[in-house]
Amino acid sequence: MQGIRSGIRICLLLCAGLDLPASERGSVGEGATLDPPEFRPWRPAAARFADDDRPYWSRNLFKRFLTDQRFLATTWWPAESRRFGFSVPLLASVALASGSNDGGGADARWQQSLEHWTEQGGRDFAHGVTRLGDAETAIVLLGGTYLASRWAGNERGMRVASLSSEALLSAGLYSTVLKGVAARTRPTSDDAGRFFVRRPGDNQQPTSYPSGHAMGAFAVASVLSWEFRDSRWVPWTAYGTATLVALSRVGLGRHYPSDVLAGAIIGQSIGRMVVERAGGSTERRAWQRLQPMVEPHNGGIGIAYHHAW
- Summarize pLDDT for 159-169 with one digit per residue, the tens: 999 999 999 99
Q: How confident is the model at residue 202 (pLDDT cuts 50, 70, 90)?
A: confident
User: Which of left, alpha, beta for 44 (phi over 0: left; psi -120 to 50: alpha)?
Assistant: beta
- The whole-number pLDDT of residue 297 equals 55
Q: Measure the CA dihedral 141/136/108/240, to 10°.
A: 0
18-27, 59-68, 133-142, 170-179: which range is least confident on average? 18-27
- Summarize pLDDT for 21-51 with one digit per residue, the tens: 444 444 444 444 444 444 444 444 444 455 5
- The whole-number pLDDT of residue 192 equals 87
- The whole-number pLDDT of residue 50 equals 52
Mean pLDDT of 138-158: 95
CA dist 13 and 163 (Å) reads 39
- The whole-number pLDDT of residue 142 equals 95
Q: How confident is the model at residue 95 (pLDDT cuts 50, 70, 90)?
A: very high
The DSSP code sequence of 215-283 is HHHHHHHHHHHHHTTTSSSHHHHHHHHHHHHHHHHHHTTS--HHHHHHHHHHHHHHHHHHHHHTT--SS
Mean pLDDT of 91-114: 87
Q: How confident is the model at residue 103 (pLDDT cuts 50, 70, 90)?
A: low
Residue 225, Cα to own-chain centre: how many angstroms?
14
The answer to whether 87 touches 78, Cβ cutoff 8 Å, is no
CA dist 191 and 137 (Å) reads 32
Averaged pLDDT of the chain: 81
Q: What share of the chain is helix, strand, coil (3-state, %, to 5)?
A: 60, 5, 35
CB atoms under 10 Å from CB of 136, counted, come to 8
Start-end of H helices in 55-154: 61-71, 77-80, 84-98, 105-119, 123-130, 135-152
CA dist 51 and 72 (Å) reads 21
Q: Is the pLDDT of residue 73 over 90?
A: yes
Nearest to 198 by CA among 183, 178, 179: 183
Mean pLDDT of 190-217: 91
Q: Is the pLDDT of residue 174 over 90?
A: yes
- The whole-number pLDDT of residue 281 equals 57
Task: Please state the φ and ψ torsions of residue 292, each to the nearest 5 degrees.
Answer: -65, 150
- Summarize pLDDT for 224-278 with one digit per residue, the tens: 999 999 988 999 999 999 999 999 999 999 999 999 999 999 999 999 999 999 9
Looking at the chain, the whole-number percentage of residues with pLDDT higher than 70 is 73
> Which are the contacts of 70, defined by CB distance < 8 A and separation ≥ 6?
none
- The whole-number pLDDT of residue 284 equals 43
CA dist 122 and 244 (Å) reads 12
Q: Is the pLDDT of residue 305 over 90?
A: no
Mean pLDDT of 111-127: 90
The answer to whether 162 touches 61, Cβ cutoff 8 Å, is yes
87-96, 113-122, 298-307: which range is least confident on average? 298-307
